[in-house]
């Protein structure tokens, strides 16, 4: 059985196409901007079997022709055996699998090999490229996370990188350049999503009686997020070229990036 927070049956921002999104319960990190503090404690999850989840998927299977199943959270890799069973059965059914993870629980061993054998795409959330800043922002080291990024490159697993830009915390030119330099060392990154910090999760903290760590930090505008993305891309060596197609930009290597995410 797995501990599941919730399931979204019509996800459009968690991987390619329309997705059946499974939010796993439990996360070892404590990101200051986390929108889902209600996923932190594993014990708060509802117990579900892989078959129960896949039965729900099957009910609306025709929706997901262009998409598939995404595991997110919380941190799905904390429930490695359950996640691997879910993706193994999904692959047997011919379903595209996407893992949205912080990578914090990564260890190079047989279990990760088994999981990656049934994972089509990894969406890796890199919170901060600097070790000390990462600890300040999340309470945890980024050592395993960057090691996971390098491992995914080694096994040539397609990756989308996500990075949230927070005023005064991750919106720093030097860090963004360093971020781009790190991406330059990887050959498997298909897409970069730079997401502006917003405060929509603040109410959840109030409801849970947890002080909101970023109280008073302003939201970042889309324009500022675009500037941050340009800094990363300039040092990554993959600036965007605007095409005529609405909302779509294309990088120099021909990769398509959806600008509506
Ligand atoms: S890794 Fe994700 S779920 Fe965990 S604290 Fe950070 S933002 Fe929240």
Kindly report each contact of residues 52-59 with a partner whose C-beta sits within 8 Å and lies 24 or more positions away, as own/partner: 53/2, 53/4, 53/7, 53/22, 53/86, 54/86, 54/89, 54/90, 54/93, 56/7, 56/9, 56/20, 57/20, 57/90, 57/95
Long-range pairs for 59-62 at CB < 8 Å and ≥24 separation? 60/9, 60/20
Domains, the chain, with CATH or none: 2-258 (3.20.20.70)
Tell me which of 26, 70, 138, 214 to substitute to probe ligand 1's pocket, judged by most ligand atoms within 8 Å of the beta carbon: 138
Tokens of 184: 């330059």
**Is ligand 1 within 6 A of the CB of residue 36?**
yes
Q: Is the pLDDT of residue 257 over 80?
A: no
How large is the average pLDDT for residues 112-140?
A: 97
The CA 231 to ligand 1 mean position distance, Å, reads 25
Q: Flag whether pLDDT at 249 surpasses 60.
A: no
Instruction: For 79, list phi and psi in degrees, rounded to 5.
Output: -115, 60
Residue 242 pLDDT grade (very low, low, confident, very high; cuts 50, 70, 90): low
Ligand 1 centroid to Cα of residue 66, in Å, is 27
Q: Using one digit for the tens of pLDDT, what is the confidence trace for 178-230?
A: 999 999 999 999 999 999 999 888 889 999 999 999 999 999 999 999 999 99
pLDDT at 250: 45
Answer whether 134's CB lies under 8 Å from 127's CB: yes
| pLDDT bucket at 241, cuts 50 / 70 / 90 | low
Residue 245 has pLDDT above 50, yes or no: no
Reference 69, options 50, 87, 88; nearest CA is 87
Q: What is the mean pLDDT of residues 162-169?
A: 94
Is residue 223 left, alpha or beta, with left meaning phi > 0 and alpha meaning psi from -120 to 50? Answer: alpha
Burial class (CB in 10 A: 0-12, 13-18, 19+), 156: exposed
Any atom of ligand 1 within 6 Å of the Cβ of 199:
no
Q: What percent of the chain has pLDDT over 90?
A: 87
DSSP 60: T
Mean pLDDT, the chain, integer: 91
* Separation of CA 229 and ligand 1 centre (Å): 21
pTM beyond 0.85: yes
Distance 30 CA to ligand 1 centre (A): 6
- pLDDT for the residue 244: 44
């Amino acid at each position: 059985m797995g501990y599941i927070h919730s399931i979204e049956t019509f996800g459009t921002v968690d991987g390619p196409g329309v997705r059946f999104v499974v939010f796993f319960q439990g996360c070892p990190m404590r990101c200051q901007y986390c929108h889902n503090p209600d996923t932190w404690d594993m014990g708060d999850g509802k117990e579900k079997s892989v078959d129960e989840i896949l039965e729900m998927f099957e009910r609306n299977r025709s929706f997901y022709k262009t998409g598939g199943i995404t595991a997110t959270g919380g941190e799905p890799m904390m429930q490695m055996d359950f996640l691997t069973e879910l993706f193994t059965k999904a692959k047997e059914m011919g379903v595209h699998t996407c893992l949205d993870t912080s990578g914090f629980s990564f260890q190079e061993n047989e279990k990760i090999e088994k999981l990656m054998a049934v994972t089509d795409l990894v969406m890796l959330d890199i919170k901060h490229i600097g070790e000390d800043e990462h600890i300040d922002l999340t309470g945890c080291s980024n050592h395993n996370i960057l090691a996971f990024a390098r491992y995914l490159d080694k096994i040539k697993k397609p990756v989308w990188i996500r990075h949230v830009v927070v005023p005064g915390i991750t919106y720093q030119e030097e860090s963004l350049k360093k971020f781009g330099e790190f991406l330059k060392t990887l050959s498997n990154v298909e897409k970069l999503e730079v997401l502006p910090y917003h405060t929509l999760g603040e109410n959840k903290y109030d409801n849970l009686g947890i002080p909101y760590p970023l109280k008073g930090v302003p939201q970042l505008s889309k324009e500022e997020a675009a500037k941050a993305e340009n800094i990363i891309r300039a040092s990554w060596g993959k600036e965007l070229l605007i095409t005529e197609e609405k909302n779509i930009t294309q990088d120099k290597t021909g990769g398509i990036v959806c600008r509506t995410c």
